[in-house]
């Protein structure tokens, strides 16, 4: 694949390109894809001028590592990423995107599938590729090539020829909620992202809004939506549930002090009767959130109820006895009436507005006026300087579900204009990646 020549812009041959809408741009100017800069631009650092200031900022932040709180850690991490991007040349960035990162995903996914990270991370001692290969049943030359790339990317540590030891990352890959996202995304989702450009061109670059006619259906030749597709192709459904558990780890929790006032808004004034429903988690997956709530607020009155589709409820291995398991389809009538709070975590972002409205209608029918709240735990993307986790997830929603991560204006349009509810307040964590939208009946 290597090409050692050093072309200039005159050497680059570009085809005539006709956009999908049949026009050559608004002013008829884009008849050919002619480079707007010389090739030398791709061989110089992306932003050399900013490097001295970024280095100063990192040095200043690095002096506080002994008392590094979460906000300072995130700021230092963002500066470190900025430094890498500034120092890389566009050519290096391109190779990282097109070769290094896809190849790393391949290597890590095979590592998960074969159980490599359990054997490698059993202790911190260096291990030979031949010994690892024998333990997991993989051809040694194949494993050696995969591990060499993992090491070059910093995911494991090379200690000698064909010898490696684990890092904290690779040891964490023995935890299913961390590792299972790799085979799930690689096998069950990635084609929808990789072929979105084809789908978008086919649809004349219009925003997709149909859950049964999106990039996922195009890429996998299916009529199923994402969740049906994953459940129909095991083990992707189970792996996806684990992946969602990993996604939630370490993120700001609305149940903690300083985020959402649980005591003032939920516990105080709640019905204390033995049959009263306190918190209903709709689409709550394996019960991660309700179990966290149970641990952090053990004295909250009433019932804790987990609702999800029967196949998901059936995958629960262990869950505290206080949490009731209830198979439920959120398109159907809500069986729990008059709960103190109905809660959804990362549910509505999966669906376009018209589907969300149908889901919200079922909740509204069950809410008790002046008593019940609807708590929506989602990203609220700011109008500017959005955080990369939220923007990445937005593209996942676009390609996998023809949906979106929503801005505050989007949420107000959905919840107030379309669903006819009232947003009482939006509570947002410090780094802006997690919010609670509290809604009431009008």
What's the pLDDT at 11?
43
CA distance linking residue 29 with residue 396, whole number of Å: 33
CA distance linking residue 75 with residue 81, whole number of Å: 10
Give per-residue pLDDT as tens, 32-81.
678 999 999 999 999 999 999 999 999 988 776 566 787 888 889 999 99
Spatial strand order of the sheet with 373-378 comes to: 323-327, 303-308, 277-282, 341-345, 373-378, 435-441, 421-428
Q: Which tokens hold the place of 259?
A: 């985020």
Q: Which tokens hold the place of 6?
A: 């050093």
What's the pLDDT at 65?
58
What's the pLDDT at 101?
97
User: Above 60 in pLDDT, residue 12?
Assistant: no
Q: For the chain, how many residues are written?
A: 442
Half-sphere exposure of 407 (CA within 13 A, CB side): 7
Give per-residue pLDDT as tens, 112-166.
999 999 999 999 999 999 999 999 999 999 999 999 999 999 999 999 999 999 9
User: Above 70 in pLDDT, residue 304?
Assistant: yes
What's the pLDDT at 66?
65
What's the pLDDT at 229?
96
Tell me the average pLDDT across 226-236: 94
User: Above 50 in pLDDT, residue 4?
Assistant: no
Question: Taking all residues of the chain, what is their mean pLDDT, rounded to a whole number?
Answer: 91
User: Above 90 in pLDDT, residue 347?
Assistant: yes
Is omega for the bond preceding 42 within 30 degrees of 0, making it cis? Answer: no
Ranges 116-125, 156-165, 414-423, 431-440: which has the least confidence: 431-440
What's the pLDDT at 14?
43
What's the pLDDT at 352?
87
CA distance linking residue 216 with residue 196, whole number of Å: 8
Q: Which helix (H) or strand (E) holds 244?
A: helix 236-248
Burial class (CB in 10 A: 0-12, 13-18, 19+), 305: buried
User: Above 50 in pLDDT, residue 26?
Assistant: no
What's the pLDDT at 129?
98
Tell me the average pLDDT across 230-255: 90
Tell me the average pLDDT across 325-338: 97
What's the pLDDT at 3?
46
User: Above 60 in pLDDT, residue 31?
Assistant: no
CA distance linking residue 434 with residue 442, whole number of Å: 25
What's the pLDDT at 62?
76
Q: Give catalytic residue positions.
A: 349, 378, 405
CA angle (57, 59, 60) in 5-degree steps: 65
Q: In sequence order, which residues have a C-beta less than 8 Å from that of residue 416 and are 6 or more positions away? A: 422, 423
What's the pLDDT at 13?
43
What's the pLDDT at 431?
63
User: Above 70 in pLDDT, residue 23?
Assistant: no
Tell me the average pLDDT across 13-21: 47
CA distance linking residue 127 with residue 121, whole number of Å: 10
């Amino acid at each position: 694949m290597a090409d050692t020549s050093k072309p200039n812009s005159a050497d680059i041959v570009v085809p005539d390109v006709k956009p999908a809408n049949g026009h050559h741009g608004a002013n008829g100017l884009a008849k050919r894809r002619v480079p707007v800069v010389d090739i030398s631009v791709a061989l110089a650092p992306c932003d050399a001028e900013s490097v001295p200031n970024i280095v100063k900022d990192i040095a200043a932040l690095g002096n506080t590592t002994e008392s590094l709180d979460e906000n300072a850690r995130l700021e230092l991490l963002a500066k470190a990423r900025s430094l890498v991007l500034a120092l890389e040349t566009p050519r290096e960035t391109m190779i990282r995107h097109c070769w290094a990162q896809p190849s790393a995903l391949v290597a890590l996914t095979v590592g998960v599938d074969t159980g490599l990270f359990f054997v490698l991370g059993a202790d911190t001692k260096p291990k030979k590729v031949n010994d690892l290969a024998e333990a997991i049943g993989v051809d040694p030359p194949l494993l050696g090539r995969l591990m060499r790339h993992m090491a070059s990317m910093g995911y494991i540590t090379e200690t000698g020829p064909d010898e490696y030891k684990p890092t904290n990352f690779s040891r964490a890959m023995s935890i299913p909620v961390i590792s299972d996202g790799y085979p799930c995304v690689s096998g069950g989702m990635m084609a929808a992202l990789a072929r979105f450009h084809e789908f978008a061109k086919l649809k004349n670059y219009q925003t997709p809004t149909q859950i049964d006619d999106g990039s996922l259906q195009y890429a996998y030749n299916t009529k199923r939506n994402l969740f049906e597709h994953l459940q129909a192709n095991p083990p992707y459904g189970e792996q996806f549930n684990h992946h969602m558990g990993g996604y939630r780890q370490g993120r700001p929790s609305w149940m903690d002090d300083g985020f959402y006032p649980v005591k003032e808004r939920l516990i105080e004034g709640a019905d204390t009767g033995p049959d009263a429903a306190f918190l209903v988690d709709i689409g709550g997956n394996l019960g991660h959130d309700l179990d966290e709530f149970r641990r952090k607020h053990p004295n909250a009155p009433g019932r804790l109820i987990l609702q999800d589709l029967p196949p998901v409820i059936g995958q629960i291995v262990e869950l505290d006895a206080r949490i009731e398991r209830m198979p439920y389809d959120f398109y159907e009538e809500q069986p729990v009436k008059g709960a103190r709070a109905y809660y959804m975590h990362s549910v509505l972002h999966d669906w376009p507005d018209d589907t969300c409205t149908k889901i919200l209608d079922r909740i509204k029918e069950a809410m008790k006026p002046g008593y019940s709240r609807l708590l929506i735990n989602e990203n609220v993307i700011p109008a500017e300087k959005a955080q990369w986790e939220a923007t990445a997830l937005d593209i996942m929603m676009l390609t996998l579900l023809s949906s979106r991560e929503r801005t505050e204006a989007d949420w107000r349009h959905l919840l107030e204009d379309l669903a006819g509810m009232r947003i009482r307040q939006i509570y947002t964590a410090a780094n802006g990646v997690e919010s609670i939208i509290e809604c009431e009946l009008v």
